[in-house]
Structure 1
Amino acid sequence: MEPGPPRKRQKFIVEDDEAREEDADEHLPTPPASDCDVENAESRMLKRATKVLATASAALDHLTQLYDNDSSIRQNFTAAVDAVVAAHHSGRKLIVCGVGKSAFIGMKLAATCRSLGIGASFMHACEAAHGDLGDVRGGDVLLFVSFSGKTPELINLLPHLPQSTAVIVLSSQTKAADCPLLAGRGDNGLLLPAPIPESEEATFGVSAPTTSTTVALAVADMLALSVAEKIHQENKQSVFKRNHPGGAIGMDHREVKKLKKDGMKVSILELPSPSISAEDSC
């Protein structure tokens, strides 16, 4: 017999043995993670989590310095406050408009204004193009919330606004000339800068609005409280309490203590808040 065939069979046997050894290695149980590994994983997770807080804090510090030291930004903010106050005194209102995550910031701004006795409403950018522009009246102030300052749904509304409509834009730009939403508005356009020192993608590896919405919300609150101060002055607390009778905020602690002292059982009824359905998205 030829010696070749047995050697060939032997080679196949060796290869089969190696394959079986590899299969056996693949099915070996994974060793359980040690307590040290778990602790290290949790530590890394918490470090990443608190980085979100530190980043937001740094962004707010940067924003404070901007509004403290930039005279042009300070003048724009004062002019924005005056525009909303003038609209309020003439029986008009602030209309806040946005889309996406910025829409939620806009909703919060409008809701805060109403609770402080300032006429305000929210107009979703998508619905605005389908009839809600009818809510805009002469003398109203329209405030766009858009981090980029060039959101298409907002840009598309500009040709349909009366030229006399005062427009305020809350965006990441620091100069009105750099904000597309203010192009051609002239004296009827005001910028409220809400920049962040570093993009969310660079900081967190994802461009989801996080730091930018935190900063936008802070500027929105600053505007609402400044307008309320100018309109109501020392009466702003009583106006707020009149408009917010529900919940824990509406229940004065001294009144609660007095009622309890009189032997009455006091409980605060929390009504469910309406949810925002998917139909509200663009």
Structure 2
Amino acid sequence: MALQSKTVLARARACIRIEQAALTATGRSLGLEFVATARAIDAAAAAGRKLIFSGVGKNAPIAQKIAATFNSTGVSSCFLDATQALHGDLGLVDEGDVALLLSNSGQSEEIVRLLPVLRRFGARIVAFTSNPESDLARNADLRLFFRVPREACPLKLAPTASTTAALALGDALAMVLLEARGLTRDDFARYHPAGNLGRVLLLRVKDIMRTGDRLPTAPDTVTTQEAILRMTKAKSGSIALVAKKTGRLTGILTDGDFRRSALTGPDFLQQPVATFMTRQPKVIAEDALGVDALRLFEAHKIDDLIVVNASGAPVGLIDGQDLPKFKIV
């Protein structure tokens, strides 16, 4: 059959609508057992136990992905192949672990055979299924149900909406635990040291700030003209102004401040720069994360950010235009 554009797009959109319906139904069905499961996982993690995910067929990669998501948030998790488990891999199961078993029907033979074995090892069992009457649901300690009005497969055979709903349910569980455990960006960066994500998350202010000749500074006693000359030489949109005796930051003069100073009279260039500078500007420490600098830019709608050391002296400057170069956006 020829792949006509209209037909292809119509069928693709129909598939997505069916999967959206499964997600909506699953979200609406969440109840107290979801809360109980979240608490059980939180308690297990606090006790140094781990999560064990298992599934067969198309649910196997879904289980692996959910386990990976939990690992990325600091909750120790692993995938247990249901078949290999019965041939020696049960050695990874410890008493107090939480086993989350995925099966749409709840009758997958390999998963059902795992139930008594895992229970004998002292693991707590959570059923991930769409069938509340299944052997898996009836024999689990806790049950998470995903609701699937229908699969997107026109033959009603290939798992589509069901695996999407199971994945979303696992992600929801992981994100609830992430927030409840107070995971910070620093924590998240520890678990993502490689790749672009890790590079961006681990980037520090000191790695991106302008220093040396690109950091214009001046005592706050100089004239506005002198301050502007130093800004121009450094090709900067601002200058850090400091107390002459201590070197501590006292203010910042930006391009905007300079334009406003010109409205005060013809002698504005000879006025002390302290007359026009912005006092108590937003600052950041050099050891802060780059993403923290981004938050300050977004929250306060500023163009430049002074970096200070422990003594309050300026040691660097972040220009908002530099952030996209480091992919901090």
Q: TM-score, normalised by structure 1?
A: 0.68
CA distance in 2, matches of 1:207, 1:183: 25
Q: What pairs with 1:188-199 in structure 2 (closer than 5 Å)?
A: 189-199=141-151
CA distance in 2, matches of 1:98, 1:134: 18
* Alignment of 1:150 onto 2:98: no
* Alignment of 1:57 onto 2:14: no
1:254–1:192 CA distance, 2 compared to 1 (3 A): closer
* Alignment of 1:217 onto 2:175: no
Q: Is residue 150–residue 179 contact of structure 1 (8 Å, CA) maintained in 2?
A: yes
After superposition, the C-alpha distances for 1:204-227 in whole angstroms (9 at most, x for unaligned) are 224111111111110010111112
Aligned to 1:205: 155
Shift, 1:83, TM fit = 0.9
Aligned to 2:196: 248
Q: Is residue 185–residue 201 contact of structure 2 (8 Å, CA) maintained in 1?
A: no
The worse-fitting range, judged by mean Cα deviation, of 42-51 and 147-156 is 42-51
1:197–1:184 CA distance, 2 compared to 1 (3 A): closer
Q: Is residue 116–residue 228 contact of structure 1 (8 Å, CA) maintained in 2?
A: yes
CA distance in 2, matches of 1:127, 1:98: 12
CA distance in 1, matches of 2:97, 2:70: 14
> Is the partner of 2:24 in helix, strand or coil?
helix
* Alignment of 1:170 onto 2:170: no
Shift, 1:261, TM fit = 6.3
CA distance in 2, matches of 1:255, 1:167: 40
Shift, 1:106, TM fit = 0.6
Q: Is residue 116–residue 236 contact of structure 1 (8 Å, CA) maintained in 2?
A: no
After superposition, the C-alpha distances for 1:14-58 in whole angstroms (9 at most, x for unaligned) are xxxxxxxxxxxxxxxxxxxxxxxx8x9221121111211121122
Shift, 1:119, TM fit = 1.2
1:261–1:247 CA distance, 2 compared to 1 (3 A): farther
Q: What pairs with 1:83-122 in structure 2 (closer than 5 Å)?
A: 83-122=40-79
Shift, 1:100, TM fit = 1.3
- 2:179 corresponds, among 213, 229, 244, to 229
Aligned to 1:26: none
CA distance in 2, matches of 1:122, 1:56: 25
Q: Is residue 50–residue 75 contact of structure 2 (8 Å, CA) maintained in 1?
A: yes
Number of equivalences:
213
Runs of at least 5 residues in structure 2 that lack an aligned partner in the other structure: 215-324
Q: Is residue 19–residue 152 contact of structure 2 (8 Å, CA) maintained in 1?
A: no
Aligned to 1:159: 116
Say which structure is richer in helix: 1
Shift, 1:254, TM fit = 9.7
After superposition, the C-alpha distances for 1:58-99 in whole angstroms (9 at most, x for unaligned) are 2212222222xxxxxx21011111111111111111111111
- 2:92 corresponds, among 126, 135, 139, to 135
- 2:138 corresponds, among 183, 186, 192, to 183
Which one-letter code corresponds to 1:179 in the other structure? S
Q: Is residue 172–residue 194 contact of structure 1 (8 Å, CA) maintained in 2?
A: yes
Which one-letter code corresponds to 2:123 in the other structure? T
1:136–1:252 CA distance, 2 compared to 1 (3 A): same
Shift, 1:251, TM fit = 2.3
Runs of at least 5 residues in structure 1 that lack an aligned partner in the other structure: 1-37, 68-73, 269-282
1:213–1:91 CA distance, 2 compared to 1 (3 A): same
* Alignment of 1:42 onto 2:20: no
Aligned-residue CA RMSD (Å)? 2.7
CA distance in 2, matches of 1:147, 1:183: 14
Which one-letter code corresponds to 1:249 in the other structure? L
Say which structure is richer in strand: 2
The worse-fitting range, judged by mean Cα deviation, of 240-249 and 140-149 is 240-249
Q: Is residue 200–residue 207 contact of structure 1 (8 Å, CA) maintained in 2?
A: no
CA distance in 2, matches of 1:135, 1:206: 36
1:254–1:150 CA distance, 2 compared to 1 (3 A): closer
After superposition, the C-alpha distances for 1:149-199 in whole angstroms (9 at most, x for unaligned) are 1100011122322354210011112x4xx13114345xxx11111121123
> Is the partner of 1:138 in helix, strand or coil?
coil
